[in-house]
Structure 1
Amino acid sequence: MAKLARAKRYPRSARKDGVTGTATVRFTIQKNGRVIVPRLLNSSGDERLDKEALAMLQRASPFPRIPAELGENSLDLTLPIEFSLNKTTRKLF
C-alpha cells in the first residue's frame, strides 16, 4: 500500500477543476513483482482520474516478489483509488 501511495499523483487539471472521485482498479502481480493486466473496474466519473489510477500501478511496479512460502505464482488485487481534495482527511486510497 505504501508503494502505491508514493506512486499516486493527482492530475493537475483535475485538481484545478476541483474534480474528485474514486476509481476501482483490478490488477495482477506476478511472482517477480511485475504488474500485469491492469484494468479499470469502476470509473471515478472523470477520465483524468481513471487514467491516473492505472498509471499509478505502472509507476509502482515492480512490487516485492511474492514469497515462495505463499505457494502462489500471482496475486489478483482489486483496490479503490480515492482522489480527494479534502485537506482535513488524509487517506492513502
Structure 2
Amino acid sequence: MSSVSLHSPAPVSQTSSPPDLLAAYSARLRALILARQPTTSASSGQVTIGFEVTLTGDLVNSAVTASSGNVRLDRAALNMVRRAAPFPRPDQAIPSDKLHFRIDVRFH
C-alpha cells in the first residue's frame, strides 16, 4: 500500500484566487496519481517525484528528486505519475505556462 502527498507551488488562501484554483487542481492530480498505486509492495520506503504539467495537461518532465534507496520503489512511484498523464487542463486563471509539483510516495 502507498500514500501520496502532493505539494503545489503556491499556498492555499481563503478567497477564490489562483492559489485556491491551484490547490484544487493539485487535489485532482493527487487523486489521479493515487488511482495508479500498486496494490502490494514487498518493500517500504518514501520516494519524492518532481514533475511539470503544461496548460494543456501534458506531463513534460518527471524525475525522482529524493530516492527511497530502492530502485523498484523509485520506479513504481515514477510510473504512477507517468501512467496518470495526460492530466486534465488546469483552470485558465492559474498564471503559469508550466506547473511544477512534487509528490511524496510512501510505500508500506
**TM class, shorter-length:** 0.7 to 0.9
Residue in 1 that maps onto 2:55: 31
Residue in 1 that maps onto 2:66: 42
Residue in 2 that maps onto 1:6: 35
Q: Residues 80-91 of structure 1 correspond to what in structure 2 (within 5 A)?
A: 80-84=104-108
Three-state SS of the structure 2 residue aligned to 1:70 is: coil
What is the Cα deviation at residue 82 of structure 1? 0.8
1:37 & 1:2 partners in 2: Cα distance? Answer: 19
Sequence identity of aligned pairs in percent? 28
2:101 & 2:69 partners in 1: Cα distance? Answer: 21
What is the Cα deviation at residue 68 of structure 1? 0.9
Question: Which structure 1 residue ranges, 4+ long, deviate > 2 Å from structure 2?
Answer: none
Counterpart check, 1:19 vs 2:48: no
Residue in 1 that maps onto 2:16: none
Mean Cα deviation higher: 70-79 or 23-32: 70-79
**Alignment coverage as a number of residue pairs:** 79
Backbone CA RMSD of aligned residues: 1.3
2:50 & 2:68 partners in 1: Cα distance? Answer: 14
What is the Cα deviation at residue 71 of structure 1? 2.3
Residue in 1 that maps onto 2:97: 73
Task: Please tell me the residue identity of whatever aligns with 2:32.
Answer: K
2:71 & 2:60 partners in 1: Cα distance? Answer: 21
TM-score, structure 1 normalization: 0.78
TM-score, structure 2 normalization: 0.68
The answer to whether the Cα contact below 8 Å between 1:27 and 1:35 also exists between their aligned partners in 2 is yes
Stretches of structure 1 that go unaligned for 5 or more consecutive residues are 85-93
